[in-house]
Amino acid sequence: MRSSRAFARAAAVTAAVASLAASGVPVASAAEPPSAAAASAHRPQVWAIPGAQAAPEGIARDPYRPYFYTGSAADGTVYRGDLRSGAVEVFLPGGADGRTGALGMKVDARGRLIIAGGFTGLVWVYDTRSGTLLHTFSSGTGSLLNDVAVAANGDVYVTDTLQPKIYRITADRLAAPAAPAAAPLPVFADFTGSPVVDGTNVHFNGIVVTPDQRYLIAAHMDSRALLRIDRRTSEIRRIDLGGADVNGDGLLIRGRTLYAVSSIDGTRDTVNIVHLGGSYAAGMVERRATHALLDRPSTAAFDGDAILAVNFQWDVASPNLPYTVVRVPLSQLT
């Protein structure tokens, strides 16, 4: 998620899909029948998100079914994309349940879609099979709830960009009977006064849980840094990257490799690939990778040996339309 100016999108849909198709890149249109996409000799690489002002920002890969979800930062519409057929459909209409913006999101092991609501200060939890609203949580005013991470034990962590806070919804709370009325969003840690973030105004963005489940790694926007946070004690420290700056709108981690998606670093179509040391206290930026399909991406989700990246096109006055989600093999990030 970026500033509100990124959401002012005024243009007509162009022939971007046709151009991609002409170049030989398999493209899945929102209007394309599932059978047509499935008949393609290749798995789709590009999914078109309908709407000239869709501004898709977050993405979640369903761990059990062949779908991804992405949400509009502009109006809160949540779309579901089919990884086999290439179809894209509206899963949750914008504006429902007070969802006027949708940023980071994840699907947990129980098939619940957890969505951070940006300036609304809300987090919504939905059943992915029925679309039923299960829970709503509120941080109150003055927040920008940005991204979501799910730990192996089912606890959910949410970042705040306007306040130096990280929130936690426990697995037990998520498993409680459905209660759509907004409940307070519990604060995991408030870093106000911490020297790590003191003197800054724009705070946390992307977040992941380390594979050993001991730490959170969060991107801090003003500091252009990666921060390690102990899940047990909430101790926070800056990860030593040898002086390198890293912006992480979206973070992914696999083993000791961290992928930090950024529309600021490098070419602005960038995935920072960072190798982390044994305690996640230090690391090295191996390269600032890119790919021809990336277009000012905001975040990504793993899909096997590839990533599904959202081309949010932050801070672009006339974005390339339609907005897209693209599949890029990890081996092709160069």
Q: What's the pLDDT tens digit per position in 284-301?
A: 999 999 999 999 999 999
Domain range 4-332, CATH architecture: 7 Propeller (2.130)
| Amino acid 2: pLDDT | 46
Q: How confident is the model at residue 4 (pLDDT cuts 50, 70, 90)?
A: very low
**Model confidence over 304-322: pLDDT tens digits?**
999 999 999 988 889 999 9
State the pLDDT at residue 16: 38
Cβ atoms of 309 and 297 closer than 8 Å: yes
Are 104 and 147 a contacting pair, CB within 8 Å?
yes
CB atoms within 10 A of CB 84: 13
Residues 6+ apart with CB under 8 A from 209: 149, 150, 151, 152, 157, 215, 216, 217, 231, 253
Please state, in angstroms and rounded to a whole number, the distance separating the CA atoms of residues 119 and 308. Answer: 25
Which pLDDT score, from 0 to 100, does residue 37 have?
Answer: 35
pLDDT in tens, 109-138: 999 999 999 999 999 999 999 999 999 999
Q: Which of 2-6, 148-152, 159-163, 329-333 has the lowest mean pLDDT?
A: 2-6
CB within 8 Å of 202: residues ≥ 6 apart: 161, 162, 221, 222
Position 9 confidence tier, pLDDT thresholds 50, 70, 90: very low
Task: Report pLDDT digits (tens) over 205-241.
Answer: 999 999 999 999 999 999 999 999 999 999 999 999 9
Mapping DSSP onto H, E and C, the string for 84-151 reads CCCCEEEEECCCHHHCCCCCCEEECCCCEEEEECECCCEEEEEECCCCCEEEEEECCCCCCEEEEEEC
Which pLDDT value is given to residue 143? 98
Q: What is the pLDDT of residue 206?
A: 98
Question: Which pLDDT band holds residue 13 (cuts at 50, 70, 90)?
Answer: very low
pLDDT at 28 over 70: no
Asked which of 19-28, 71-80, 172-181, 242-251 is least confident by mean pLDDT, the reply is 19-28
pLDDT tens digits, 259-277: 999 999 888 999 999 999 9
For the chain, the domains span: 4-332
For the cut 60, the answer to whether the pLDDT of residue 8 exceeds it is: no
Give CA separation, 238 vs 194, 230, 242, 320, in Å: 11, 12, 11, 36
**140-190 residue pLDDT tens:** 999 999 999 999 999 999 999 999 999 999 999 999 999 989 999 999 999
Q: Determine the pLDDT at residue 113.
A: 99
